Amino acid sequence: MQTAVRESRDLEPLLAAAEARFAQVHPASRERHARACDRLPAGHSRQTLYFPPFPLTIARGEGARVTDLDGHRYLNLVGDYAAGVFGASCEPIQRAIREALAQGLSLSGPNLRELELAELISERLPSMELLRFCNSGSEACLYAAQTARHATRRAKLLVFHGCYHGSFLIFGASDPPLTVPVPVVKARYNDVDGTRAVLRANATDLAAVLVEPMLGAGGCIPGTPDFLGMLREETARLGIVLVFDEVMTSRLGPGGVQGLLGLRPDLTTLGKFWGGGLSFGAFGGARELMQHFDSRGGGQLSQAGTFNNNILTMSAGLAGAREVYTAEACRELNARGDRLRQALGALARRHRVALQATGLGAVMTTHWSDRSIVDPSHVDPPTTPLRRLFQLELLEQGYYIAQRGMINLSLPVTEADLDGFLGAVDGFLARHAKLLPPSAA
């Protein structure tokens, strides 16, 4: 602890200098942020995009690059927090949107794209026998949780400390005020024996287990096969609905993480890339659960939503998944991400610095630690001086990453782009080697 405190104090002057340089070269973003604070709380409508001293205002984007209001161009490795699979521009998707615009927007009925997109999703993720669209991953997770509670006539959910299932379902030692007041039982992620015991002790009250097969906001921590396999086995035995939140992870394999592991959850939630860059959500699963939405057969659940099947999202999502993010493209992009994580690890070993990248495929988070990270309690907060300094100095080099260290690759990112990024990381490690946490190896 004393070493960490000393390192933090040593980094503070470097961080202050980096913030001063950032403010100096981004006057237009700074001025716009100041104006925005008069109408938007903290000057924004999306918490994840804020970082001090103020966030960049992005003026335009093309492919894997974005340009801010001051004219600085960056390789976009934020990747819209895993939603930006296609980059800032993608001709097949843009063409599909133009065609949809020409056919009309407010159509007031089922359209010519939603069935085809539903069929494609069910083909990729066979566990989703029936599904419904909505407007975000947050909505999808809330719908899935309430569907399970209705179907089982049980009240409680089993969730995991430090996990995020959208703005209304965030769980920790104390839950944020906007979290929906649903009764929950909590366990530790990747704790096989402990979670099994919690499941068995609460079985008669539990409607569902809500779990990300790889934590996203929680630090890109993969669920171990033993952990996720135990959840499938125990929930099936105890009559509890297993919900896989694949809002972020469905991009990691042609059939999501459930396809990679050969697991079949009862319900799945989707979002992010499936909308082709537009607002999107979906939830679905076993026919007997989703039939609660079928009023023809006595289903009692009614799900409205003016824009659930909006023609722009349906068209963009179908074109993106069918023409662009094919199974082959998915495998290639995630293999590129695996190579990047390995290369970051090699850099850390060469500099003898405690740095690692956790994750799967093209979605990862860097951590200034070499301990085994299997639970969100092992993840440093995004506001630590080292995380902030790393982000600001990489921005100076033209690489846009999230303050919390998250990196999400898009299809237009090339191997040459990643070589340049690795060079920038190498330079950071060399400049600050004496102040960075040393590797225990």
Domains annotated on the chain, with CATH: 127-324 (3.40.640.10)
Q: Taking the C-alpha atoms of 71, 72, 75 and 80 in order, what is their torsion angle to the nearest 10 degrees?
A: -70
Give per-residue pLDDT as tens, 52-88. Answer: 999 999 999 999 999 999 999 999 999 999 999 999 9
Whole-angstrom Cα distance, residue 282 to residue 250? 12
Give per-residue pLDDT as tens, 320-356. Answer: 999 999 999 999 999 999 999 999 999 999 999 999 9
Q: Is 310 left (phi over 0), alpha (psi -120 to 50) or beta?
A: beta
Q: β-strand 156-160 against 206-211: which pairing, if any?
A: parallel
Whole-angstrom Cα distance, residue 64 to residue 43? 26
Side-chain half-sphere of 284: how many Cα atoms within 13 Å?
Answer: 22
Q: Taking the C-alpha atoms of 407, 283, 139 and 248 in order, what is their torsion angle to the nearest 10 degrees?
A: 0
pLDDT at 441 over 90: no
Amino acid at 3: T
Percentage of residues in the chain having pLDDT higher than 70: 98
What tokens were used for 252?
A: 């990691």
The conformation of residue 345, written as its DSSP 8-state character, comes to H
pLDDT at 369 over 80: yes
Residue 260 has phi, psi (to 5 degrees) of: -65, -35
Q: Which residue has the tokens 């929930």?
A: 235
Task: Give me Rg for the CA atoms of the chain.
Answer: 22
What tokens were used for 8?
A: 């933090």
Give per-residue pLDDT as tens, 209-227. Answer: 999 999 999 999 999 999 9
What would the mean pLDDT of 285-294 be, rounded to a whole number? 97
Asked if residue 74 lies in contact with residue 88, where contact means CB atoms within 8 angstroms, the answer is no
Query: Confidence class of residue 7 from pLDDT cuts 50, 70 and 90?
Result: low
pLDDT at 1 over 60: no
Question: Residue 358: which H helix or E strand, with range?
Answer: strand 356-360
